[in-house]
């Protein structure tokens, strides 16, 4: 396990720049985001026979953008779990008694 990776990523997500970037992605691709809303609205207008395909592409783009932002916090969580000391588990007798 690379300790510097955890430190680097932790510093990244705690920086003001990361917070601004995350908010920009959320504002653009989040459910309330203007780009997302406009794209879905435009795809649903009219009698476009490819509207369903267009909606799928919009959702795939949204999912990709939000997944990319979540990648770093998810990696931090994984690295922290790997560095945590395992909790000892007491296994008592199955026969009962004291």
What are the tens digits of pLDDT across the range 17-62? 999 999 999 998 888 888 888 888 888 887 778 888 888 898 899 9
- Per-residue model confidence (pLDDT) at position 23: 94
The rounded percent of the chain whose pLDDT value lies above 70 is 85
* Residue 42, in any domain of the structure: yes
* Residue 94, in any domain of the structure: no
Domain count for the chain, please give it.
Answer: 1
* Residue 88, in any domain of the structure: no
- Per-residue model confidence (pLDDT) at position 93: 61
Asked if the model's pLDDT at residue 5 lies above 70, the reply is: yes
* Residue 87, in any domain of the structure: no
* Residue 45, in any domain of the structure: yes
* Residue 54, in any domain of the structure: yes
* Residue 95, in any domain of the structure: no
* Residue 63, in any domain of the structure: yes
Task: Give the list of residues 6+ apart from residue 29 with CB closer than 8 angstroms, or none.
Answer: 35, 36, 61, 62, 65, 66
- Concatenate the DSSP letters of all residues of 2-69 into one string: -HHHHHHHHHHHTSHHHHHHHHHHHHHHSTT-HHHHHHHHHHHSTT-TTHHHHHHHHHHHHHHHHHHH
Whole domain around residue 71: which residue ranges? 3-81
């Amino acid at each position: 396990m690379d300790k510097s990776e955890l430190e680097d990523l932790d510093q990244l997500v705690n920086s003001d720049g990361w917070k601004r970037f995350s908010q920009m992605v959320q504002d653009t691709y989040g459910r309330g985001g203007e780009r997302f809303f406009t794209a879905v609205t435009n795809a649903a207008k009219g009698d476009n026979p490819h509207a369903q395909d267009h909606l799928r592409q919009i959702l795939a783009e949204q999912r990709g953008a939000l997944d990319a932002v979540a990648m770093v916090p998810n990696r931090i969580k994984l690295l922290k779990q790997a560095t945590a000391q395992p909790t000892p588990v007491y296994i008592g007798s199955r026969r009962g008694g004291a």
